[in-house]
A and B are shown apart, each in its own frame.
Chain A
Amino acid sequence: MAVTAADPSRVLTAVWRIESARIIAGLARLVRDVGVAEELAQDALVVALEQWPVTGVPDQPGAWLMATAKHRAVDVLRRQSRYRQKLEEVGRAQPQVDDTDLAAEADDYVGDDVLRLIFTTCHPVLSTESRVALTLRLLGGLTTDEIARAYLVPEATVGQRITRAKRTLADKKVPIELPPPAEAAERLASVLEVIYLIFNEGYSATAGEDWVRPALCVDALRLGRTLATLAPREPEVHGLVALMELQASRIPARTGPDGAPILLQDQDRRRWDRLLIRRGLAALDRAGNTFGPYVLQASIAACHAKAATADATDWTRIAALYDVLAHVSPSPVVELNRAVAVANAHGAVRGLAIVDAVELPDYPLVPAVRGELLSRLGRDAEARAEFERAAALTRNARQRSLFEARAAALDG
């Protein structure tokens, strides 16, 4: 029975979004190459685009796509096997491929396949931007064009990154498998980093006219939630999900009607998304009593989420959490945030001392924080110069207006 009312190409796009990661991951296990796996999946997509308008949308569109792609994979493997048989006649014996086994294997539960694929697309052998592009494409189900628009770069650039990434994985013979125990922590950290990078590009866009691009946050959240389902025993995965849910809960309040950014202390907290806060706190609970960098950052975000007003924020606890974070995962950005927390908990002078030691050349938030703390100390002329420097450094138009406004207000 076919659904006649639905537009096949629209159904296909939706099904692709939902199923593509599982299809590509299942195929990658069979053909042992993510590039070939994606091509096979794309082939199935083309077949569907040709057939569905004629035959109607199949009852189980996801299963249909998987079966079609799988048939093609078996063909490819059979061809390879025949090729091997030819080689065999020349010399060395190779095991023969059994179609029935292959088909059964392809039907296995695919959760682990998706996990293996995430570890592969986030492999340290790839550049960071390639990991991001390949992950969004293969796991997020985004088209190259969608990734390009999200990152405000030409489509060709993203296409090249993805092509290069696939070639690197093939050239370096990166196996599509879960990392060996000795590498597990480092490899998981890479996966989490890629997902959080995607989230952050959506949450505080580094370039362009918009301050937030929520669709990218949602893509990162979905990847994180999937990962948490597949690797439920990793506290840092839950920590990352908690952090993203809690940060995303503020998106409705982070932008004014004119698109201008609204800082945390000025946000209308009634606009925070209670559902995401609830989900974030639940994810943090699942992380248990651990102290990894994402769990710590999520704990800090939870302090904000629990404060009914900006004045009610428990800055002493936040400053203490930043102290631990600075120990566990030291970085200039953590130091900068710690400076703000310490300033709020223990006074601007102590915060300023921390900022002055931060080495982050050309990072606009360093002068912005310094400007804020100087203005609290009544050192307006110095504060103004810092905000002007911050405005000159940022590539985000909305952020620039914010810093210019702060500088102008100090003109007095």
Chain B
Amino acid sequence: MRYLIMLKGAQPATPPPPELMEAIMTLGAEASAAGALLDTAGLLPSAAGARVRLSGGRLTVTDGPFAEAKETISYALYEVRSKDEAVEWASRFLGLHRDLWNGWEGDAEVLEVMA
């Protein structure tokens, strides 16, 4: 089973602490060594992106930033035996944010990839 984990949160005023980035790298290495993490990357703020919309039969392209309060910050693709295992990896990831970035809040959405 594969799960896509999308990290979402408010765009912070300051960059993430280096200790957090270091801890995330370590967690990523652990998850890769466990054979569970297939792919992961951080995403630039939506200001650098665009949205293509289909509405009323018309395509429109709008440059970022998007109006949403929350930005999609990163993604990770896991191959695991159960949803619980994917949730555990997501919990560890958010746990690092809790421990190393005071006040930061956000969500990790755990979505199953269609087989």
Say whether B38 contacts A14, CB under 8 Å.
Answer: no
User: Size band of the B side of the interface?
Assistant: 20 to 34
Quick check: which of A73-81, A222-230, A359-367 contacts chain B, the rest being far away?
A222-230
Closest beta carbon of chain B to A274's beta carbon, Å? 11
Q: A17 vs B34: C-alpha distance in the bound complex, in angstroms?
A: 10
Are A224 and B35 CB-contacts (below 8 A) given A13-B82, A13-B84? yes
Q: Which B residues lie within 8 Å of A18 (CB)?
A: 34, 36, 85, 88-89
Taking the complex as formed, is B105 at the interface, i.e. its CB lies under 8 A from any CB of chain A?
A: no
Q: Which has the most chain A C-beta neighbours within 10 Å: B32, B36, B81, B89? A: B81
Are A218 and B77 CB-contacts (below 8 A) given A229-B32, A279-B38? no
Q: A219 vs B82: C-alpha distance in the bound complex, in angstroms?
A: 12
Say whether B84 contacts A222, CB under 8 Å.
Answer: no
Q: Mark B76-114, 1 if CB is under 8 A from A, else 0.
A: 010111101101110100010000000000000000000
Taking the complex as formed, is A334 at the interface, i.e. its CB lies under 8 A from any CB of chain B?
A: no
Q: Which has the most chain B C-beta neighbours within 10 Å: A15, A111, A223? A: A15
Closest beta carbon of chain A to B110's beta carbon, Å? 12
Q: Which has the most chain A C-beta neighbours within 10 Å: B38, B88, B89, B115? A: B88
Q: Which B residues lie within 8 Å of A17 (CB)?
A: 80-82, 85
Taking the complex as formed, is B39 at the interface, i.e. its CB lies under 8 A from any CB of chain A?
A: yes
Taking the complex as formed, is A405 at the interface, i.e. its CB lies under 8 A from any CB of chain B?
A: no
Q: Which B residues lie within 8 Å of A226 (CB)?
A: 33-35
Q: A6 vs B87: C-alpha distance in the bound complex, in angstroms?
A: 10
Say whether B88 contacts A275, CB under 8 Å.
Answer: no
Q: A111 vs B35: C-alpha distance in the bound complex, in angstroms?
A: 14
Taking the complex as formed, is A125 at the interface, i.e. its CB lies under 8 A from any CB of chain B?
A: no
Residue of B nearest to A223 (CB): B35
Q: Which A residues lie within 8 Å of B32 (CB)?
A: 225, 229
Say whether A14 contacts B87, CB under 8 Å.
Answer: yes
Say whether B34 contacts A222, CB under 8 Å.
Answer: yes
Closest beta carbon of chain B to A145's beta carbon, Å? 13
Taking the complex as formed, is A173 at the interface, i.e. its CB lies under 8 A from any CB of chain B?
A: no
Taking the complex as formed, is A11 at the interface, i.e. its CB lies under 8 A from any CB of chain B?
A: yes
Identify which of B34, B79, B84, B115 contacts A10 (C-beta below 8 A). B84
Q: Which A residues lie within 8 Å of B34 (CB)?
A: 18, 222, 225-226
Q: Which A residues lie within 8 Å of B36 (CB)?
A: 18, 222
Closest beta carbon of chain B to A14's beta carbon, Å? 4
Identify which of B35, B77, B82, B85 contacts A275 (C-beta below 8 A). B77
Q: Which A residues lie within 8 Å of B35 (CB)?
A: 221-226
Say whether B91 contacts A3, CB under 8 Å.
Answer: yes
Q: A215 vs B91: C-alpha distance in the bound complex, in angstroms?
A: 23
Residue of B nearest to A61 (CB): B88
Say whether B81 contacts A11, CB under 8 Å.
Answer: no
Of residues 219 to 254 in A, which have CB atoms within 8 Å of B's CB atoms? Answer: 219, 221-226, 229-230, 252
Of residues 34 to 48 in B, which have CB atoms within 8 Å of A's CB atoms? Answer: 34-36, 38-39
Say whether A14 contacts B85, CB under 8 Å.
Answer: yes
Say whether B95 contacts A14, CB under 8 Å.
Answer: no
Are A15 and B88 CB-contacts (below 8 A) given A222-B36, A226-B35, A230-B33? yes
Say whether A11 contacts B88, CB under 8 Å.
Answer: yes
Q: Mark B13-48, 1 if CB is under 8 A from A, else 0.
A: 000000000000000000011111011000000000
Q: A13 vs B87: C-alpha distance in the bound complex, in angstroms?
A: 12
Say whether B33 contacts A14, CB under 8 Å.
Answer: no
Identify which of B33, B84, B88 contacts A229 (C-beta below 8 A). B33
Say whether A215 contacts B84, CB under 8 Å.
Answer: no
Identify which of B39, B77, B79, B84 contacts A14 (C-beta below 8 A). B84
Chain B residues proximal to chain A, CB less than 8 Å: 32-36, 38-39, 77, 79-82, 84-85, 87-89, 91, 95, 115
List the 10 closest pairs (A to B, CB-CB), nearest first. A222-B35, A225-B35, A14-B84, A14-B88, A229-B33, A14-B85, A10-B84, A226-B35, A17-B85, A226-B33
Interface pairs (21), CB distance under 8 Å:
A13-B84, A14-B84, A15-B88, A17-B80, A17-B81, A18-B88, A18-B89, A59-B95, A111-B33, A214-B115, A218-B79, A218-B81, A219-B81, A221-B35, A222-B35, A222-B36, A225-B34, A229-B32, A229-B33, A275-B38, A279-B38
